[in-house]
Amino acid sequence: MAAAKNYGPKRLVVGAHYGVMDFIIQRITAVIMAVYTLVLLIGILMMPAFTYEHWTALFNFYVGVLPVGQILATLAFIALAWHAWIGVRDIWMDYVKSVGVRLLLQVLTILWLVGSVVYFAQILWSI
């Protein structure tokens, strides 16, 4: 009986999908952040004056009863946090060999990112 061939196109690929989903999510979140950055830049360039009232108007505009400015900013910030989580998690997995230290760093990263999102939402939605 011949040994199984573990290379080439017929190899058995199992496991965590080798990062394809993370790759796709990184690209989607990057596009969301890029589009939001362009929208924000256009809004800043179209401001008649750079005052606090005009700055808050960028995040506080409505379409009908829907707070579009706050929704877009929240979506962009969540995309930023998700993008950062994937990148930092990969750094911890690649360079921290001790499982205990890696787990601690990942938990601290999650706590920091969740805290950042909550703090962001608290500030933005109180405008």
Distance from C-alpha of 18 to C-alpha of 54, rounded to nearest angstrom: 46
Residue 27 included in any domain? yes
Q: How many domains does the chain have?
A: 1
**Mean per-residue pLDDT of the chain:** 89
Residue 40 included in any domain? yes
12 versus 112: which is more confidently predicted? 112
pLDDT single digits (tens) 35-72: 999 999 999 999 999 899 999 988 988 999 999 999 99
Position 11 scores a pLDDT of 58
Residue 51 included in any domain? yes
- Does the annotation place 62 within a ligand binding site? no
Q: If we measure between CA atoms, which residue out of 37, 59, 50 comes closest to residue 125?
A: 59
Residue 6 included in any domain? no
Residue 2 included in any domain? no
CATH code (residue 47): 1.20.1300.10
Which residue blocks in 46-98 are alpha helix, DSSP H?
Answer: 52-59, 68-95
pLDDT single digits (tens) 76-95: 999 999 999 999 999 999 99
- Does the annotation place 119 within a ligand binding site? no
Position 96 scores a pLDDT of 94
Residue 115 included in any domain? yes
Residue 25 has pLDDT above 70, yes or no: yes
DSSP label at residue 5:
P
Residue 24 included in any domain? yes
Residue 74: give the domain boundaries: 19-124
Residue 11 included in any domain? no
Position 17 scores a pLDDT of 60
- Residue whose token pair is 């995309």: 79
Residue 4 has pLDDT above 70, yes or no: no
